[in-house]
Structure 1
Amino acid sequence: MLNFRHVKYFIATANLGQVSRAARELSISQSAITSAIKELEAEVGGRLFVRTAQGMELTDTGRRFLAASHRIMASVEEALHPADTAAEVAGSLSIGASYTVLGYFLPQHLERLERRYPNLRIHIHELTREMIEDNLITGRLDMAVVLTSNISNPELTTETLIGSQRRLWVPAGHRLLELDSVGLQDVAEHPYIMLTVDEAAHWTTRYWSASPFRPNVRLRTSSIEAVRSTVANGQGVTILSDMVYRPWSLEGKRIETIIMRERVPAMDVGLAWRQGVELTPAMRLFRTHFSEVYQTPQSRMPR
């Protein structure tokens, strides 16, 4: 029977990508996590992970269950903190967010925070990474929700909440779906659609540069929907994260995903604030909300 412990172990494994890392984070045995995942898979009626040399890769079923698991954790969080206590929390926060985070990650959390803390005023500012870093350092922003994998400013502290796996996107019926294993060499043989928003092109270039192959770029665009439609219509392939993946284009055409043979870095999402700043009660509340939902935050000082 599904219980809170199962969900907690599943989220930790999905976020960290390895049973061993999840076990260390939760201070339990690997066998406890493995058993919990097997029980969950039996309840769900399908595999949640594919076990690879790199670790635990979410299946399509696993991705859907992960989204549901975060909603479960948010509900548990609200149940453990009665509304009458939450209503006493008041204050104002100025939060920065990048394009991808604001479009695909943050809205559901803003709704929950507003419902739980009616006297907390959160002001959201969509900015580029450079502008977010500058505004955090100068104090014009209290905190930011960002792609932490893009942050390298030594004056900022970041806390990664999730690592969104990057996969190959192809249209339904594409011949790469017939292969037992797909690598960058295979992808290089097909037109590539390059997303440019939020420095996506920079990260794409980095992991391609580590290989002897190069993408055959047909189109560069800052629009995720343009990438989705172009791929779905058979005009190319791309490698993007699960966070922005949707199985259907605006025209109603199917997009499939493939786990890459090579290790492609995840897109890390989390919080950022100025190093050494004393967190206000409102800032601590904002940070606690995410740590409770995602279970395994990882604080670090950018290199």
Structure 2
Amino acid sequence: MSMHSLANIDAFVRTVEVGDFTRAARRLNITASAVSRRIARLEEELGVRLFQRTTRALRLTEDGRDFYARCQRILAELGEAKESLARSRSRPTGLLRVETPQVIGQLVLTPALPRFFEAYPGVELHLTLRDEVVDPITEGADVLIRMGQLTDSRLVARKLAVARLMAVASPAYLQRHGTPATPADLALHQCLGFLRQGVTGEWRFKDARFVPRGAFHVSQGATLRDAAVMGLGIAWLMDFMVARELATGALVTVLDAHACEERPIHALHPPNRHLPSRVRVFLDFVKTLFPDSRAPSAQGSQT
């Protein structure tokens, strides 16, 4: 059924309800002649006469009465569909599939889920934590959260934050071993390494690059953070991973004047002109979970 047909049916129903073209036109905010033309087109499309027209009044034909009863049901169902869609947009429901790196899923998203489910109890979340790059269209993901530069131009990207990497340590560790003044001083410290596919990642400063040679290396970001809190050494971590620890003083930053590495964080989704409400509210929600990477942080002695 085309939109023109629906407009013609609407004109027909309104005319039956009020009894003439003029009053139907007022309800539809069009002219009486436009109402007459719409009904004429409807009769031509159906191949029947819907009204007996006289100089005094309009009277439904038998076909018109049967068609009017059906049209009432059609318009009622359309109204219910519109109301259902409006309710769905105001109260998101359904299955939401999200892919995210482990560190974001563990340290940022999962702790905030009680607040999300309290706001949107009708949403069922399937969360996959993995660091491998996947094709969300092939995998069936609704939202893919990724760190670093984007490569897939087929996806719609929403920037969530810019994560700043920083060197952090516990106050107890710095009290025992001293505070490094330059990246070169890190060679004298226990530096905790992050393993990716068995290789320890380097730390990138403005004026130096450094590969940690400490006693502990791990492939899991939350464990690396916990090791720094326990005083095992200095770690190179993203600001959102240690926001709580910096706020409480469990960790402090060192070498801030030399740090420069940043990584954008995006939420990606397949192109869709009309995003399901569950996707839309999740994108808005996850945007609130990252700290301002430019905000001042607790710091140790540094240069």
Structure 1 length-normalised TM: 0.52
Offset at residue 119 of structure 1 (A): 1.9
Aligned to 2:37: none
Change (3 A) 1:284 1:171: closer
Change (3 A) 1:120 1:169: same
- From 91, 110, 113, give the equivalent of 1:110: 113
Offset at residue 99 of structure 1 (A): 0.8
Say which structure, 1 or 2, has more relative contact order (CA 8 Å, 6+ apart): 1
CA radius of gyration, larger in: 2
Unaligned runs of 5+ in 2: 1-86, 293-303
SS in 1 for 2:167: strand
1:244 aligns with 2:241: yes
CA distance in 2, matches of 1:200, 1:240: 18
Change (3 A) 1:226 1:116: closer
Aligned to 2:257: 261
Letter in 2 for 1:143: V
Q: Could you tell me whether the CA contact under 8 Å between 2:97 and 2:140 is conserved in 1?
A: yes
- From 217, 223, 228, give the equivalent of 1:220: 217
Aligned counterparts, 1:73-222, within 5 A: 88-130=91-133, 133-134=134-135, 136-146=136-146, 148-149=147-148, 151-173=150-172, 174=174, 182-196=181-195, 204-205=201-202, 207=204, 211=208, 213-222=210-219
Q: Could you tell me whether the CA contact under 8 Å between 1:87 and 1:119 is conserved in 2?
A: no
Offset at residue 234 of structure 1 (A): 4.7
Q: Could you tell me whether the CA contact under 8 Å between 1:87 and 1:118 is conserved in 2?
A: no
CA distance in 2, matches of 1:85, 1:295: 31
Mean Cα displacement is larger for which, 95-104 or 166-175?
Answer: 166-175
Change (3 A) 1:200 1:282: farther
Change (3 A) 1:288 1:200: farther
State the identity as a percent: 15
1:284 aligns with 2:283: no
Change (3 A) 1:232 1:289: closer
Q: Could you tell me whether the CA contact under 8 Å between 1:208 and 1:215 is conserved in 2?
A: no
Letter in 2 for 1:218: A
Q: Could you tell me whether the CA contact under 8 Å between 1:89 and 1:119 is conserved in 2?
A: yes
How many residues end up aligned between the 2 structures? Answer: 201
Superimposed CA distance per residue, residues 183-213 of structure 1 (whole angstroms, 9 cap, x where no aligned partner): 322223323211236x8977x4272697265
Offset at residue 108 of structure 1 (A): 4.2
Superimposed CA distance per residue, residues 19-77 of structure 1 (whole angstroms, 9 cap, x where no aligned partner): xxxxxxxxxxxxxxxxxxxxxxxxxxxxxxxxxxxxxxxxxxxxxxxxxxxxxxxxxxx
Q: CA RMSD in A?
A: 3.9
SS in 1 for 2:265: strand
CA distance in 2, matches of 1:239, 1:106: 21
Letter in 2 for 1:142: D
CA distance in 2, matches of 1:143, 1:187: 39
Q: Could you tell me whether the CA contact under 8 Å between 1:208 and 1:214 is conserved in 2?
A: no
